[in-house]
Amino acid sequence: MKEEMSPAIARPALEESRPGPAKPVGNGALPVVLSLDIEEHYRIEAAAGLDVPPSLQVVYRRRMARTTDWLLEKLASRNIRATFFILGQIAKGDPGLIRAIAGAGHEVASHGWDHRRILTMDRPQFVEDIRRSKDALEQASGTPVLGYRAPTFSIVRRTAWAIDVLAEAGFLYDSSIYPVHHDRYGVPDAPRHPFQVRGVEREILEIPPATLGLGRLNVPIGGGGYFRLLPYPLTWLALAFSRRDRQCIGSMLYFHPWEFDPDQPALPLRGLSRFRTYVGIRRGQRRLASLMADFSFVRGIDLARRLIERSEGLPAFCLTS
Ligand SMILES: [Zn+2]
């Protein structure tokens, strides 16, 4: 993919990182997972109704690969190992990218086959979706794929059966249940910290994206538009507070390559969708640099193994009750 890059597509330059707060959290006991959802920009839910021409899809694909290379460099420079939730279709089309990710010691995990939300599938279709994704990722990386994140956090009460499918397919953990109110996803009453989630008949470990608990309100600070919109100190404080919270045994952050590529062609989105997608996108690189400097990180699979060893201490939550 690298050889095919158009010279017009510039590698994003890392913005200067301003001095962040002191790093009392950095080497503390709280494991923080830095995760990246690897998908082309046009796959986002806000663009679901858009007709993106194949030539523009190719541009986004190249930019995604290029920005993922850039992320790999940044992670290596900080000696950080991350979790990459990747589409199976990308593994099939660009196995070299998956080998580069796995070869650098990062975790290769599944983000489904082609970014279809589980809400649009029935159970047999979802079984096939994750089978294809897992196979393609395992073949490309040569490592077992044990973590899963649903496109657009689409494990909700209505798709509780997906938990059973993941457990039966041999996944060790899931990171798809966002305990917030949102028009597209969310299980607002789910626990904010890692828990054992029950679907219909089976259970799996859930590592939810990070939130800041303010009374009865869960503020989503784990990544995406929220991370770019809200002031960085709020993310920092949320992670620092989590460390003091005795129920908290690990936090999960999530980002996408396109969030660090401010000069990409913008999708023709309108209104709220446009705002959510592009708010603060020029701050993305600088904020990531601050996070990398202020915290230390583990991979999702490392946190999962640690939690499974002590599973009797995890809260339980049933999606069907
Ligand atoms: Zn996604």
How many helices and strands, by DSSP H and E, does the chain display? 10, 12
Confidence at residue 237, expressed as pLDDT on a 0 to 100 scale: 83
90 alpha carbon – ligand 1 mean position (Å)? 12
Would you say 182 and 309 are in contact if contact means Cβ atoms under 8 Å apart? no
Confidence at residue 13, expressed as pLDDT on a 0 to 100 scale: 39
39 alpha carbon – ligand 1 mean position (Å)? 6
40 alpha carbon – ligand 1 mean position (Å)? 9
Q: In the beta sheet, which residues pair with residue 220?
A: 211
Domains and their CATH numbers in the chain? 32-42+53-318 (3.20.20.370)
251 alpha carbon – ligand 1 mean position (Å)? 19
262 alpha carbon – ligand 1 mean position (Å)? 18
Phi, psi of 91 (to 5 degrees): -65, -40
CA–CA distance, 90 with 136 (Å, rounded to integer): 9
Element (H, E) at 273: helix 271-278
CA–CA distance, 86 with 107 (Å, rounded to integer): 10
169 alpha carbon – ligand 1 mean position (Å)? 20
Residue 55 makes CB contacts below 8 A (sequence gap 6+) with none
User: What is the 8-class DSSP label of residue 208?
Assistant: P
Confidence at residue 243, expressed as pLDDT on a 0 to 100 scale: 66
CA–CA distance, 105 with 66 (Å, rounded to integer): 19
Give the number of other Cβ atoms within 10 Å of residue 31's Cβ: 22
Confidence at residue 181, expressed as pLDDT on a 0 to 100 scale: 82
Confidence at residue 270, expressed as pLDDT on a 0 to 100 scale: 86
Confidence at residue 10, expressed as pLDDT on a 0 to 100 scale: 36
253-304 pLDDT, tens digit per residue, is 999 999 999 999 888 888 888 888 888 888 889 999 999 998 889 999 999 9
Confidence at residue 246, expressed as pLDDT on a 0 to 100 scale: 60
Nearest Cα to 80, choosing from 36, 39, 41, 120? 36
Q: In the beta sheet, which residues pair with residue 23?
A: none
Residue 190 makes CB contacts below 8 A (sequence gap 6+) with 177, 179, 197, 206, 208, 317
CA–CA distance, 73 with 84 (Å, rounded to integer): 14
Q: Compute mean pLDDT per 10 residues along the chain, 321 residues long, and list them.
A: 35 36 44 95 86 93 96 96 98 97 98 96 98 98 98 95 98 95 84 93 95 84 83 84 68 94 89 84 90 92 90 86 85
247 alpha carbon – ligand 1 mean position (Å)? 28
44 alpha carbon – ligand 1 mean position (Å)? 6
Would you say 235 and 31 are in contact if contact means Cβ atoms under 8 Å apart? no
